[in-house]
C-alpha cells in the first residue's frame, strides 16, 4: 500500500480532532450534571417545574464563566454548549412540531376579507380537498375558483383588485397572472412568519433549536430538544401576537342584558341541539367573597346561562363574571346564539365577549388540587367593539417590550410604542379618564391580559401589561412575542411529537447498554473467527466509532435513537468489509500463495475492494433517499448511516491494512482463522440453482399468505400515516389495557386503541377524538379529557403533573404524538416515493455497474420479495406481539434499510459472478453461478450473523420505542440473506437465459 505515512498522519490527526470535539460534550454534560445536582439539593418536594427553573437559573449564572483554560484559549459554558454533540428529541426529551401557516387567512387578508360568494365557496372547497390531498392550498383554491366563478375574475375589485393591491394587480388582469402575484405574496407571508418564529425561538433559551421551512407548503418545522415546559413552548410558537387596545364595558353596564339573556337561555336550553352536559354550577362557598352575591339556588339548578356563568354583581369591575374552564365553550355558544344576540340594546349592539388569558383556582394554596375541573375559574370581559371589529389601537405598534417589575415587585411587561401609536394612546386614555370609572383592556390574541381603570391620561408612548398572577416566564414570553412582531396569519400545529425528559434519559441508558453489548459481541466474534487479524479489525472498528462520533460533534449533528441504531448498523457494515477482505485473503492462502501476495490481492480492486465499494454505494444511495424524504429521527438515522459508510470504508480498507502490513513486516504469522474456526465454510460446492424452484415455491407461498393477511387483516398504521393522537402514559401500578379502553370509551365517545407499551405499568393510548377540530385550545382539552377519563387510575397525580414535560416520578404522560389527517396523507405519500425512488435508483446503479438488465431485475425482484415478506410478518403478528408494530415513518426507514442490506448482500454475490465469468469462460454459466454462491457463503453467513447479533442486542436492550423498528430489521436481515442466495441470483440466472434466447 502506497502513502502509508500520509494515511497514518491523517488517521492520527483525525482521531485527535475527534477527541477534541467530543471533549466539549463531556464538559457540557459535567456542568449540566452539576446544575441538576444543585436543583435536587434546593428542591426537596419533587416539584419538577421548580427543579427545572432552578436548573436553568444555575446554567444561566455560569453561562459566561470560563470552565476550561487550554492556555491558548478559554471556553465558557456557552462556548462549550455550542460545540457539544446535540442529542435528539428521543434522547433528551423536548418537542418537535410542524406548524401550518394559514394560506387561507393570507388570502382573506389580501382580499380585505372579501364577501364575494365565489371566492368564499372556493376557499371552503379548497379546505375540504386539502384533507385528502397533498397539493398546494393555492392550487386547490385556484382549481375550485375556476369551476365556480364563471365570468368573475380574481382581479375583480370585490376580490383582489383592491386599492391596497393596485400596484401589484391591475383591473381585469387574467387569473393566471393574479395567481403568480398571490403566490409571491403568500411566500412573503410565510417568510415573515418564519423569521418571526425564529426570533421567538432564539430567545427561548434551549440548546440547539432547529427551525426550517418545508418547501413552499406554508409549513414550518420547529425542534426544541431539551424543552421541558411544553405548554409554554406551544403558546410561544402559536401565538399570533395580535395586540389590541379596547374600551371595556363595566359589569354594571351589561348586568341587565345578562339577566335578560339568562331568561332567554332557559327556553333555548330545552332544545336538545345543545348537547353539552350540564354540570353543577360553581359552588356558592367557593366564590361568594369574589362575587359579593350569588344567584338563588333554586334558579342555579336549572338549565340556563347562569348555570355556567356566575355574574359579577358586588362592585364596579371590568370583569362581568366567572366560569369554569371547561364551561367556557358552553358560555360562548349561548352568548353567540342569534336569539340571544337579538336581545342586545343599541348601546351594546357590537359587544364581544373575551376571556382572561389565565385561569385561577378557588382552592386555598397548599390544598389538594387534583380536581382540576371543579376548581379552575376564568374571568369574562365585555369588549366595546364596533361594526368593523377594529380596535381603537392595534397592529405592529410596539417598538420595544421587556419584562420588568412593578412598584409592588410583581412581574409585568413594559411596552414602548411608535410615535403614531403614542399619540393615539394618549388621546384614548385622555378621553376615558375624563369620563371617569372607565376601563381599557390590553388584548393579545383574543385573550385579555389586563383591564384596569383609566384614571389619568398616559402620554409618552409607554404602557404595561400586568396581571395579578403573572409569572416572570409569562412576562418574558409576552415581551418576546411582542418584540418579534405578529405573525401574518395564524400558525396551527398540525403535527407534534413530545418526549418527556424521563423517557429521554431512559432511552439514553438503554442505548448505551445495547451499544456496549453489541460492540462486545462483535469484538469477541471477530477474535474467535479470525484470531489476530480479527483483533486488528476490532481496532479499526473502535477507530471507526471514534470518527463517527467526532464527525457528528464537529458538525453539530443531532444524535437520535434511530441514529444510534444507524451507528450500530454501520458496525455490522464495517465488519462486513473486513470479512470480505479476510475471506479473499484466506482464498489466496488456500491456493498456496504467499501471505504478502494474498494480502495485496485481498485489498485490491480485483480482490475485495470492488465488491466493498459496490455494496457500500448501494447502501449509501438508500441513505440519501432516507435523508431526502425523512424527517426528524429518520434523518438522524440516515445521516449516521451515510457518515458510517464513509468512515467504515476508510477504517476497514486503510487502518486494517496498516495494522496487517505492520504485522507482516515484523514477520508475524497471520492465519486469518483460529483453531476453532479453521476449515469453516471451505471447499463448499453447493448446487444452489437446482434448488431454485423449491425456493420459488416457498417464497411464493409465504408472499401469497402474506398478501391474503394484508388484504384481510390489514396492517396497523401509526398515527403518522392515518392521523390521530397517541399518548404513552405511565402508572404507579400494572394496568389492564382492555379495562382502560372501556373506561376511556365514555370520555372519548368511542373506545381508543390501548396497548401495553414495554412494561406492564405503561400504556400506549391512541385515539382520533377531535382530530379534525381546529383551535388553539383543542389539544389542551383533549389532554384534559384523557386525564379525566384516567383519573381513577392516577391516584393523587394532579393535572399539572400528568401533562407531558418535566421529569416524572409517578403517573403521567411520558410522550405524546399528534398528526392531523392532512399531513398524515402527505407523510404516507412521501414514504411511498422514498421506497419506489430508492428501488429505481438502485436498479439504475446495478444496470450501470454490471451492464446487464438481468442483474438489475434479480436485485429488484429480491428487494420486492423482502419487503413483501416483512409486511406479511407485520400483518400476521401485530395483534399478539408484546411491542408496537405500527406502520409509520420508522417502519419505512427500516424497510429502506432492509433494501440497502439485501442489495449489499446481493451485489457482493453478483460481483463474484462477474469475476468468475471473466476468469473461467470455459465453465457453464450455471456452474459459474453455483461456484460464486459457494465461495461467498462464508462471507454471507458471517456478516449476517454479526449483524444479527448487533440487532438482537439493540432489540433486547434498546428501549421500547425502537423495538418495532429493530424487529423489522431483524426479519429483513434474515429474509435478505435468504433472498440473495435463493431469489436474486436464481432470478438473475433465469432472466439472463431468456436474454440469450432472445438474441
449-475 confidence digits (pLDDT tens): 888 887 777 777 777 766 656 777 777
Take residue 727 and report the three cell numbers written for it: 399518548
| Strand boundaries in 363-428, DSSP class E | 376-384, 393-394, 398-405, 411-417
Question: What pLDDT score was predicted for residue 774?
Answer: 72
- Residue 422 to residue 864: CA distance in whole angstroms: 69
Give the confidence band of 2 by pLDDT, cuts at 50, 70, 90. Answer: low
Three-state secondary structure call for residue 159: coil
φ/ψ bin of 795: left (φ > 0), alpha (ψ from -120 to 50), beta (otherwise): left
- The Cα–Cα gap between 794 and 63 comes to 39
* CA dihedral of 807, 812, 813, 814, whole degrees rounded to 10: 40
Query: 33: buried, middle or exposed (CB in 10 Å: 19+, 13-18, 0-12)?
Result: exposed
For β-strands 558-559 and 86-87, DSSP reports them as parallel
Mean pLDDT of the chain: 79
Q: What is the pLDDT of residue 682?
A: 67
Q: Is the pLDDT of residue 365 over 50?
A: no
CA distance 725 to 495: 10
Q: Which of 865, 562, 563, 825 is nearest to 717 (CA)?
A: 825
Q: 697 pLDDT band (50/70/90 cuts)? A: very high
Residue pair 253/382 in contact by the 8 Å Cβ criterion: yes
**Segment 123-139, tens digit of pLDDT:** 988 888 877 776 778 88
Do 444 and 355 meet the contact criterion of CB atoms below 8 Å apart?
A: no
Give tens-digit pLDDT for 262-321: 998 888 887 544 444 434 434 444 444 555 544 444 444 567 888 889 998 878 888 999
pLDDT of the residue at 285: 47
Q: Give the tens place of pLDDT for each residue, 911-936.
A: 888 888 888 888 888 888 888 888 88
**Residue 808: predicted pLDDT:** 65
Query: Alpha-carbon distance 832 to 828, whole Å?
Result: 6
pLDDT of residue 277: 40
| DSSP-H helix ranges across 327-418 | 328-335, 338-341, 372-375
Q: What is the pLDDT of residue 248?
A: 92
Tens of pLDDT, residues 219-230: 888 887 777 777
Confidence of residue 380 (pLDDT cuts 50, 70, 90): very high
What's the pLDDT at 736?
86
One DSSP character per residue, 851-916 reads --HHHHHHHHHHHHHHHHHHHHHHHHHTTT-SS---BSHHHHHHHHHHHHHHHHHHHHHHHHHHHH
> Which pLDDT does position 370 carry in this prediction?
41
Our measurement of the distance from residue 477's CA atom to the centroid of its chain's CA atoms, rounded to an integer in Å, reads 23
Cβ of 293: how many Cβ atoms within 10 Å? Answer: 11
Mean pLDDT of 942-966: 77
Extract the C-alpha cell encoding 289: 367573597
Using CA atoms, how far residue 39 sits from 25, 47, 49, 53, 503, in Å, is: 21, 10, 11, 8, 19
**Which range is least confidently modeled, 148-157, 347-356, 718-727, 788-797?**
718-727
Does 175 have pLDDT greater than 60?
yes
Q: Quick one: cell of 884?
A: 408496537
Q: What is the pLDDT of residue 373?
A: 43
Mean pLDDT of 87-91: 72
CB contact at 8 A, 748 and 805: no
**Exposure b/e, 649-683, CB count within 10 A at least 16 = b:** bbbbbbbbbbbbbebeeeeeebebbbeebeeebee
Please say if the pLDDT value at position 447 is more than 90: no
Whether 535 and 542 have beta carbons less than 8 Å apart is answered as no
* Residue 382 confidence (pLDDT) above 90: yes
572 closest CA partner among 944, 901, 907, 947: 947
- By mean pLDDT, which of 324-338, 360-374, 469-483, 911-925 is the weakest? 360-374
Confidence band, pLDDT 50/70/90 cuts, at residue 40: confident
**790 and 743 Cβ atoms separated by less than 8 Å:** yes
The CA distance from 90 to 508, in Å, is: 9
pLDDT surpassing 60 at residue 446: yes
pLDDT reported for residue 371 = 45
pLDDT in tens, 404-441: 888 778 788 888 888 888 888 888 888 888 888 888 88
Across 53-70, average pLDDT = 76
The pLDDT value given to residue 151: 83
pLDDT band at 837 (very low <50, low <70, confident <90, very high): confident
Q: Which of 208-212, 437-441, 755-759 has the highest mean pLDDT?
A: 437-441
Instruction: Name the CA dihedral angle for 170, 171, 177, 180, rounded to a multiple of 10 degrees.
Output: 60
746 pLDDT above the threshold of 80: yes
Q: What does the pLDDT read at residue 296?
A: 45
* Mean pLDDT of the 106-115 span: 86
What stretches of 768-872 adopt beta strand conformation (E)? 812-819
* The three cell numbers locating residue 8: 497514518
Q: Is the pLDDT of residue 97 over 50?
A: yes
DSSP E strand stretches across 131-256:
210-214, 219-225, 243-249
Task: State residue 367's pLDDT score.
Answer: 44
Average pLDDT over residues 31-49: 77
CA distances from 576 to 313, 547, 572, 936, 943 (A): 80, 18, 6, 12, 5
Asked which of 494-498, 562-566, 871-875 is least confident by mean pLDDT, the reply is: 562-566
Q: For 249-259, what is the mean pLDDT? A: 92
Q: Which residues contact 231 (CB under 8 A, 6 or more apart)?
A: 780, 803, 805
Q: Among 36-50, 94-108, 962-976, whose mean pLDDT is lowest?
A: 36-50
Grid cell, residue 432, equals 376615558
Residue 683 has pLDDT above 70, yes or no: no
**Which of 247, 142, 238, 165 lies closest to 197 in space, CA to CA?**
238
Three-class SS of residue 839?
Answer: helix
| Model pLDDT, residue 753 | 84
pLDDT for position 261: 92
From CA 192, how far away is CA 207, in angstroms rounded?
A: 24
pLDDT, average across residues 478-507: 73
User: Which pLDDT value is given to residue 260?
Assistant: 92
**In the structure, what pLDDT confidence band is assigned to residue 249 with cuts at 50, 70 and 90?**
very high
Greater pLDDT, 6 or 366? 6
What per-residue confidence (pLDDT) applies to 375?
62
Lowest model confidence (mean pLDDT) among 280-294, 475-489, 770-784? 280-294
Arithmetic mean of pLDDT, 679-683:
68
Q: What percent of the chain has pLDDT over 90?
A: 5
Q: Per mean pLDDT, which range of 354-358, 497-501, 747-751 is the poorest?
A: 497-501
Amino acid at each position: 500500500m502506497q502513502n502509508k505515512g500520509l494515511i497514518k498522519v491523517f488517521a492520527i490527526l483525525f482521531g485527535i480532532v475527534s477527541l477534541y470535539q467530543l471533549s466539549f460534550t463531556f464538559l457540557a454534560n459535567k456542568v449540566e450534571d452539576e446544575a441538576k445536582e444543585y436543583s435536587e439539593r434546593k428542591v426537596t418536594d419533587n416539584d419538577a417545574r421548580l427543579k427545572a427553573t432552578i436548573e436553568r437559573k444555575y446554567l444561566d449564572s455560569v453561562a459566561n464563566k470560563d470552565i476550561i483554560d487550554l492556555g491558548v484559549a478559554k471556553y465558557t459554558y456557552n462556548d462549550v454548549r455550542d460545540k457539544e454533540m446535540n442529542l435528539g428529541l428521543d434522547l433528551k426529551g423536548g418537542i418537535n412540531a410542524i406548524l401550518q401557516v394559514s394560506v387561507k387567512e393570507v388570502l382573506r387578508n389580501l382580499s380585505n376579507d372579501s364577501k364575494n360568494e365565489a371566492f368564499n365557496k372556493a376557499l371552503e372547497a379548497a379546505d375540504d380537498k386539502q384533507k385528502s390531498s397533498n397539493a398546494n392550498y393555492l392550487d386547490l383554491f385556484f382549481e375550485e375558483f375556476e369551476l365556480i366563478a364563471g365570468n368573475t375574475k380574481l382581479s375583480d375589485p370585490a376580490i383582489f383588485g383592491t386599492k391596497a393591491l393596485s400596484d401589484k394587480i391591475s383591473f381585469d388582469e387574467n387569473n393566471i397572472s393574479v395567481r403568480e402575484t398571490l403566490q409571491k405574496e403568500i411566500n412573503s407571508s410565510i417568510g415573515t412568519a418564519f423569521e418571526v418564529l425564529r426570533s421567538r425561538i432564539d430567545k427561548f433559551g434551549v440548546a440547539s433549536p432547529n427551525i426550517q421551512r418545508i418547501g413552499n407548503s406554508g409549513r414550518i418545522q420547529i425542534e426544541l430538544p431539551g424543552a421541558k415546559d411544553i405548554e409554554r413552548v406551544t403558546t410561544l410558537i402559536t401565538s399570533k401576537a395580535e395586540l389590541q387596545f379596547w374600551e371595556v364595558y363595566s359589569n354594571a353596564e351589561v348586568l341587565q342584558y345578562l339577566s335578560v339573556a339568562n331568561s332567554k337561555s332557559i327556553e333555548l336550553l330545552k332544545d336538545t341541539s345543545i348537547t353539552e352536559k350540564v354540570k353543577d354550577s360553581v359552588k356558592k362557598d367557593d366564590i361568594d367573597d369574589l362575587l359579593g352575591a350569588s344567584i338563588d339556588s333554586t334558579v342555579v339548578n336549572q338549565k340556563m346561562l347562569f348555570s355556567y356563568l356566575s355574574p359579577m354583581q358586588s362592585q364596579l369591575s371590568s370583569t362581568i363574571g366567572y366560569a369554569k374552564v371547561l364551561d367556557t365553550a358552553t358560555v360562548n355558544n349561548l352568548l353567540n346564539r342569534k336569539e340571544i344576540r337579538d336581545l342586545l340594546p343599541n348601546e351594546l349592539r357590537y359587544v364581544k365577549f373575551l376571556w382572561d388569558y389565565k385561569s385561577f383556582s378557588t382552592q386555598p394554596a397548599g390544598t389538594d388540587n387534583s380536581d382540576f375541573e371543579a376548581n379552575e375559574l376564568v374571568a369574562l370581559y365585555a369588549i366595546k367593539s364596533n361594526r368593523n371589529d377594529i380596535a381603537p389601537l392595534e397592529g405592529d405598534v410596539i417598538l420595544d417590550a421587556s419584562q420588568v417589575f412593578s412598584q409592588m415587585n410583581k412581574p409585568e411587561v413594559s411596552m414602548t410604542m411608535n410615535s403614531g401609536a403614542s399619540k393615539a394612546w394618549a388621546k384614548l386614555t385622555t378621553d376615558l379618564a375624563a369620563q371617569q370609572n372607565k376601563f381599557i383592556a390590553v388584548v393579545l390574541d383574543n385573550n385579555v391580559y389586563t383591564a384596569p381603570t383609566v384614571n389619568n391620561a398616559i402620554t409618552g408612548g409607554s404602557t404595561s401589561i400586568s396581571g395579578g398572577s403573572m409569572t416572570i416566564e409569562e412576562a418574558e414570553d409576552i415581551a418576546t412575542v411582542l418584540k418579534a412582531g405578529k405573525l401574518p396569519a395564524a400558525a396551527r400545529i398540525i403535527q407534534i411529537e413530545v418526549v418527556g425528559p424521563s423517557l429521554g434519559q431512559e432511552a439514553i441508558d438503554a442505548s448505551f447498554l445495547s451499544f456496549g453489548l453489541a460492540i462486545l459481541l462483535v469484538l469477541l466474534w471477530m477474535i474467535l473467527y479470525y484470531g489476530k487479524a480479527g483483533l486488528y479489525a476490532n481496532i479499526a472498528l473502535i477507530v471507526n466509532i471514534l470518527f463517527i462520533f467526532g464527525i457528528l460533534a464537529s458538525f453539530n449533528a443531532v444524535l437520535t435513537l434511530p441514529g444510534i441504531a444507524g451507528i450500530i448498523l454501520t458496525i455490522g457494515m464495517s465488519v462486513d468489509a473486513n470479512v470480505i477482505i479476510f475471506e479473499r485473503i484466506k482464498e489466496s492462502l488456500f491456493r498456496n500463495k504467499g501471505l504478502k501476495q494474498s494480502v495485496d490481492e485481498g485489498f485490491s480492486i480485483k480482490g475485495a475492494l470492488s465488491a466493498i465499494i459496490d455494496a457500500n454505494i448501494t447502501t449509501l444511495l438508500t441513505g440519501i433517499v432516507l435523508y431526502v424524504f425523512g424527517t426528524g429521527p429518520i434523518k438522524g438515522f440516515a445521516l449516521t448511516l451515510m457518515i458510517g459508510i464513509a468512515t467504515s470504508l476508510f477504517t476497514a480498507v486503510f487502518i486494517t491494512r496498516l495494522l496487517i502490513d505492520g504485522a507482516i513486516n515484523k514477520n508475524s504469522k497471520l492465519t486469518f482463522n483460529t483453531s476453532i474456526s479453521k476449515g469453516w465454510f471451505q471447499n463448499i460446492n453447493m448446487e444452489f440453482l437446482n434448488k431454485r424452484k423449491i425456493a420459488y415455491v416457498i417464497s411464493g407461498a409465504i408472499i401469497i399468505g402474506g398478501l391474503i393477511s394484508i388484504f384481510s387483516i390489514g396492517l396497523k398504521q401509526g398515527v403518522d400515516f392515518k392521523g390521530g393522537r397517541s399518548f404513552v402514559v405511565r402508572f404507579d401500578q400494572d394496568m389492564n389495557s382492555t379495562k382502560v379502553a372501556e373506561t376511556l370509551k365514555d370520555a372519548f365517545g368511542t373506545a381508543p386503541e390501548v396497548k401495553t407499551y414495554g412494561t406492564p405499568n405503561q400504556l400506549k393510548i391512541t385515539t382520533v377524538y377531535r382530530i379534525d377540530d381546529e383551535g388553539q385550545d383543542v389539544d389542551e382539552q383533549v389532554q384534559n379529557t384523557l386525564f379525566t377519563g384516567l383519573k381513577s387510575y392516577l391516584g393523587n397525580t394532579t393535572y399539572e403533573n400528568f401533562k407531558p414535560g418535566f421529569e416524572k416520578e409517578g403517573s403521567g404522560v411520558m410522550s405524546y404524538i399528534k398528526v392531523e389527517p392532512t399531513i398524515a396523507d402527505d407523510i404516507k405519500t412521501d414514504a411511498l416515493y422514498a421506497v419506489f425512488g430508492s428501488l429505481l435508483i438502485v436498479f439504475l446503479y446495478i444496470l450501470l455497474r454490471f451492464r446487464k438488465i438481468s442483474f438489475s431485475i434479480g436485485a429488484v425482484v429480491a428487494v420486492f420479495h423482502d419487503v413483501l415478506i416483512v409486511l406479511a410478518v407485520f400483518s400476521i403478528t401485530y395483534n399478539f406481539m408484546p411491542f408496537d408494530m405500527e406502520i409509520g415513518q420508522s417502519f419505512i426507514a427500516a424497510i429502506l434499510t432492509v433494501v440497502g442490506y439485501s442489495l449489499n448482500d446481493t451485489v457482493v454475490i453478483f460481483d463474484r459472478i462477474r469475476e468468475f465469468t471473466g476468469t473461467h469462460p470455459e465453465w457453464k454459466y450455471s456452474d459459474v453461478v453455483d461456484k460464486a454462491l459457494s465461495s461467498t457463503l462464508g462471507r454471507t453467513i458471517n456478516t449476517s450473523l454479526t449483524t444479527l447479533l448487533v440487532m438482537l442486542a439493540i432489540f433486547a436492550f434498546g428501549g421500547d420505542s425502537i423495538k418495532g423498528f429493530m424487529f423489522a430489521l431483524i426479519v429483513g436481515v434474515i429474509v435478505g440473506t435468504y433472498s440473495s442466495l435463493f431469489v436474486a441470483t436464481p432470478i438473475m440466472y433465469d432472466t439472463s437465459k431468456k436474454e440469450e434466447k432472445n438474441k
